[in-house]
Amino acid sequence: MPELPEVEVARLSFADVAAGARVTDVVLGKPLRWPLGCEPARLVGAHLGVAQRRGKYLWLPVGPGGLLLHLGMSGSLRWLAPQAPPRQAHDHFELHTDRGVLRLTDPRRFGAVVWSESREAGMAARLLAGLGVEPLEPGFDGPYLHAALQQRRSAVKTVLLAGDVVVGAGNIYACEALFAAGIDPRTRSDRISRPRAARLALAIREVLARALTLGGSTLRDFRDAHGMAGAFQEQAKVYGRAGQACTACTSTVRRIVQAQRSTFFCPTCQRR
DNA sequence: CGGGACGCCTGTGAGC
DNA sequence: TGCTCACAGGCGTCCC
């Protein structure tokens, strides 16, 4: 589910209230993608820092180390009052504090919560290594994207999804950004010209930024930490619209499969 | 080494 | 109504 906007929306909705809180208990449900990596009791008594985001990961400082969180395909985070409603079937991680409860709900359990000594060491460092640049930060621009795309030969959509050039754009926003830039998702990465790369970089930034202001996309179950749904999905131009009319021309939006993932695009508005 | 397929797990909606 | 199948917002790992 969650791509960069959803993860950032989640972060913003609990980071301030959680910072400084003292951990009183840790409650685990079914196993997530990886084991926690430490005794839950080790976290009790530690104070939380300000949650940070890197790509689709969140780093939550806890005492001397921290937790690296990922929402996978179906995860969502809620910040609940100290007297939280009882844990339900899909609630697999809870950090109880003196100020409230951070709860991860994740039906598919592709998500993760992993203890690490620091962001720069252990499991966190391993998982964060190799991530591409942050699309909403200054280092991401046309020249950077063009140079990076020149190094790759697979389809541009696949390169965007891989996350080692630029992080944060998952299936929805990769499709939407390519539509906004007028680029056929099957175009070989190294055949994207300089101006088109510049347009694509801008499109990625704009699509992600707009999704952020709309609170992300809620396709099925995404909610922010206060339980609010996002609204971006109502603005999607191609994602999930196969067989429907393009919003910009008379063509029909197509669905194809690239690297085991659905790709949606307009065969007229998007060119190789 | 780049690139693609696999598998992790559960839920939902479509079609029969 | 109930079953089966396709598909779902991600990504580390394995194999070619």
Q: What pLDDT is recorded for position A127?
A: 94
Question: A227: left (phi > 0), else alpha (psi -120 to 50), else beta?
Answer: left
Q: Are residues A119 and A26 in the same domain?
A: yes
Number of H helices, E strands in chain A: 6, 10
Q: Give nearest nucleotide to A33 (CA–C1').
A: B8
Q: Give nearest nucleotide to A257 (CA–C1').
A: C7
Q: What pLDDT is recorded for position A5?
A: 87
Q: Can you give the residue range of the structural domain that contains A62?
A: 4-128
Q: What pLDDT is recorded for position A235?
A: 81
Q: How far is CA A132 from CA A32, A113, A145, in A?
A: 25, 21, 10
Q: Are residues A91 and A155 in the same domain?
A: no
Q: What pLDDT is recorded for position A84?
A: 85
CA distance A52 to A148: 26
CA distance A68 to A219: 25
Q: Which of A68, A27, A21, A28 is nearest to A46 (CA)?
A: A21
Q: What pLDDT is recorded for position A220?
A: 60
Q: What is the pTM of this model?
A: 0.95
Alpha-carbon torsion angle A21, A121, A13, A30, nearest 10: -90
Q: Which residue has the tokens 């697999």?
A: A92
Catalytic residues of A: 2-3, 56, 261
Residue ranges of alpha helices (H) inside A29-129 are 122-128
Total tally of structural domains belonging to chain A: 2
Q: Are residues A121 and A157 in the same domain?
A: no
Q: What pLDDT is recorded for position A222?
A: 60
Q: Are residues A197 and A96 in the same domain?
A: no
Q: Are residues A193 and A242 in the same domain?
A: yes
> Within chain A, which residues score under 70 in pLDDT?
1, 217-234
The answer to whether residue A135 sits within a structural domain is: no
Q: What pLDDT is recorded for position A226?
A: 66
Q: Beta carbon of A107 within 7 Å of strand B?
A: yes
List strand C contacts in A 14-33 (CB < 7 A).
33
Q: Give nearest nucleotide to A258 (CA–C1').
A: B4
Q: Beta carbon of A70 within 7 Å of strand C?
A: yes
Alpha-carbon torsion angle A12, A57, A218, A50, nearest 10: -10
